[in-house]
Each structure stands twice: as structure tokens, then as C-alpha cells.
Amino acid sequence: MTDFLYYPGFEIEDDEWLKFALLYMRKVHTIVPYEADYYLSTKHKNLKDSTNLLESYRPSYEEGEKSTYDAIDIIQSLINKPNRNLDILGEVNILDFWRQGQNQDTELFNTKFSPEFVRFCNEYGLCHETYNGIKIPKQLALIYMSVFAHNIGDHRGMSVITDTKEQRRISKINNKAWKYNPGFEDLKAMKKIMKLEIPVNLKEIPLEAIIKLRNKESFQTKLNAFHLSLGTFTSTPGMKLTESNCKEIVGNLNGSILDLVSDITGFTTSTAVTALGVALVFSNDGSNFELAKEILGFGVTASGAFQVYEKFYNVRNKYLAARYITDLRKLGKNHVR
């Protein structure tokens, strides 16, 4: 899976979305200029320090410069033909609304744009300058951040995501918002999977419980294996991770251990714990103990064990991926009221 770039703000706004990210995503980059570190909330800082989910993306001058000219083109077209996007921007005189000082309430930091953007906004009376940069109407800020984030995503090969409904609506104005987003379908499918596997609303599960689960080394191993298994699934010709096939994915992962057990029982001639069992328990510092417990109930001879040994390594990632789903179920059951 590609890395994810979050926008429009410095930090994830929606708690339920944050919990989803903690349970599923390996890394989320948030766009935070160096000078904005001071403005990050205590919650965000603590989360960044206590988990491996968040990473601050420091935008370059070149990314701000390119986004300046792209955004100017879009905003100029809105000013010239305001009626074209009434369903998105609202049935008001957009230019008059944007020019009113009380509506210029959203701050953009200097690092995100070039001086040309300030000149353009000043020319139309769309901004006033601040210590950190400029304040512009929220709609303009969302348009600009859509352009900015998608340019970075294009440049860095990241999937661009947001948890803000208004941002998703405004992004329809930006043609780039429909591109450079390879992980979008994956996210929708995973949300569907979680709704199937977690029997409660994520809102009901304390953030602390999810952080505790994420920070377990065993969960990290399973999470990585899950992503590898999804990568294998989506790399198969004609197969894509979508909301409609999420049951098939879970079934495929859960069936992996049964495939292995089936192979093992085909070689069974005694109930002795043989070479395979010993190898499973002691390989990788004992990290395969869970899997060993599941299959050692079936008899395995030494000759059979070695024939199955290679098969084990091929399904181990799928097994761990299935255990990831099991962890989600347990998390939900622990918080059913």
C-alpha cells in the first residue's frame, strides 16, 4: 500500500477516522510546516510520540510555487464564471462574499504558497496578511489545500485523503482530486471490513484501547502481514480491493490456515511432534507459537514435515493477516455494551 497524505489541517480532525487509521494504516503524513509545530495540539503530539502512525510532511518551496499557479487558475475561473459551481459554492455572489473581512477566517502559512498567491488575493481583496501568512475565506483555503495536497501526492507518490466532508465537496472543483489516489478504494473496502468484523461503532471504543492494541508488537506484525496479503490479492490480474468483495478477502485470509492444515493432515502417519513443530515454535524467536499451537494437534511425521515446511512460509503472512481480523473482532467484543 502507498503512503497516505492527510489534508486539509495539520492534524486529523475526526476521532472515528483517527481510530480507523490507527487500526489499519501503517503511516499517515500530515502537512505541517516547521513553523506550525508550535500550533499542534497536545493530543496530536502525544499520539505522534506514542505510536508510529503519524509523520509530519514538510512541504517544499517548489511544491508551494507549483500549487500557487494551479490554484490561481482555478480561482480565476471561479471568479470569471461563478455560476458554474453554484451547487458546490452556494447560491451567493462568491466574489462579494469572499471580499468581506469577517469571512476571511482561515489561515494559510507562508510555506504553503509563493508570494504570487498573496499578490493575486490582494488584487481581488480576498485576503489579509497575518504573522504566519494570510487569512482567506474557508472555501478558498479548502480549494487551495486540495490543489496543494494533490500536487504533493503526485510528486511523492502518495494517496491523498481527508476526513472533512466539506473538503471532499470542494475538491470536486479541482480536476486533480480525481487522480493520484490509488489507495482510495482500499480505504473504502477496509471501512466495510471493519464494520463487518467490529460489532460496535468505533466511537464506542476508547482511543486508549486502540492505541494499546496498535502498540503491541504482535499486532504490528499482523498489520504488516495483512497489508502484504492485500497487496498480493490486488496484484492478481483482474482483482481489485473494493467494498463489494471484502467478504471474499476475509474468507481468503481465514482459509489460509485451513489450507495448511489440510496439507499437513495429508502426510499424517503418527501423532508425534516432529521437525515441523519444533521449527515452528523456535523459528523467528518463537513468533510462530500461535500457529504451531493450531496445527500441532494434527500428527506430522518428519518426512511430511519437511514437505510442508516450505508451504508454511507461503501462508504465514496470510495466517497473520487472518489473525489481524481476529484482533479486530476481539477489540469490538471487549466493548459491546
Query: What distance in Å separates the CA atoms of residue 23 and residue 5, rounded to the nearest whole number?
Result: 17
Contacts of 34 (CB under 8 A, 6+ apart): 58, 111
Closest to 121 in 3D by CA, of 174, 66, 173, 133: 133
Radius of gyration for the chain, computed over Cα atoms and rounded to the nearest angstrom = 25
Query: What distance in Å separates the CA atoms of residue 261 and residue 269, rounded to the nearest whole number?
Result: 14
Report which of residues 246 and 130 the model is more confident about: 130
The cell for 282 is 523456535
pLDDT for the residue 257: 47
- Tell me phi and psi for residue 161, to 5 degrees: -135, 155
Residue-wise pLDDT for 76-113, tens only, equals 988 887 666 555 566 567 888 899 999 999 999 999 99
DSSP letters, 22-33, are HHH-S-EEEE--
DSSP letters, 241-273, are --STTHHHHHHHHHHHHHHHHHHHHHT-S----
| 334 HSE (CA, 13 A, CB side) | 11
pLDDT for the residue 25: 87
Ramachandran assignment for 30, one of left (phi > 0), alpha (psi -120 to 50 degrees), beta (any other): beta
DSSP state of 173: G
pLDDT for the residue 263: 44
Residue-wise pLDDT for 190-218, tens only, equals 777 777 677 677 788 889 999 999 999 98
Residue 242 predicted with pLDDT over 70: no
Residue 273 predicted with pLDDT over 50: no
Residue found under cell 462579494? 96
* Helical (H) or strand (E) element with 23: helix 15-24
Residue 281 predicted with pLDDT over 70: no
